[in-house]
Amino acid sequence: MNKAQLVEAIADKVGGRQQAADAVDAVLDAIVRAVVGGDRVSVTGFGSFEKVDRPARYARNPQTGERVRVKKTSVPRFRAGQGFKDLVSGSKKLPKNDVAVKKAPKGSLSGGASATVKKAAAKKATTAKKAAAKRTTAAAKKTTAAAKKTTAKRTTATAKKTTAKKTAATAKKTTATAKKTTAKKAPAQKAAAKKAPAKKSAARKTTAKKATARR
């Protein structure tokens, strides 16, 4: 059965051949667009259409037997539903006065599995963002703590250097003052030492005079 025969088969059920052709075109167009966009189209009881990615691989040319490399590609895939499989295998009989495949529940024409996958991916992305935020916060805290420690060390070292400089300056001033004081005392002692022999000479002269008078 080709597309034209399919249209003829459903023409009486939808009100005419043109209406049937439009319906078939609309259904096929919706399925193709959804699969190309990466969505999975599932029709309960009939089957599902989805896009499958095939990695690059090696294959053989059927005519020459030559080994050739096949590039990575994407292909459409159809999986028959359980109801369709049961009808084909004969485990269930085709209804005479009813459609072979029951109408799908509302919303089942959209990719149910793809929606679940998208939700899972969104959850993973959110979890990854939270984990990254926590890592960034922890790294920032560590950096701040390290900066505080470094600042404290530098402050302590600067304080020690300043104290050492002040102590050294005070010691120098004290030493200089002591030297000046010692230098002032030294001339006074020398002067006192010079005056002492003069008194001794005067005493000697007086003694000599007394001796002369006795004679």
- How many other C-beta atoms lie within 10 A of the C-beta of residue 114? 18
The pTM assigned to this predicted structure is: 0.45
The answer to whether the beta carbons of residues 53 and 74 sit under 8 Å apart is yes
d(CA 206, CA 215): 15
For 166, the 3-state DSSP assignment is helix
Per-residue confidence (pLDDT) for residue 4, from 0 to 100: 93
The answer to whether the beta carbons of residues 49 and 31 sit under 8 Å apart is yes
- Strand pairing category for 47-54 and 73-80: antiparallel
CA nearest to 29, candidates 112, 106, 109, 105: 109
pLDDT in tens, the chain (215 residues): 999 999 999 999 889 999 999 999 999 999 999 999 999 999 998 999 999 999 999 999 999 999 999 999 999 999 999 999 999 999 988 888 788 876 555 554 444 444 444 555 566 666 666 766 677 667 667 766 766 776 667 766 766 776 667 767 776 776 776 666 666 665 555 555 555 555 555 556 666 666 666 65
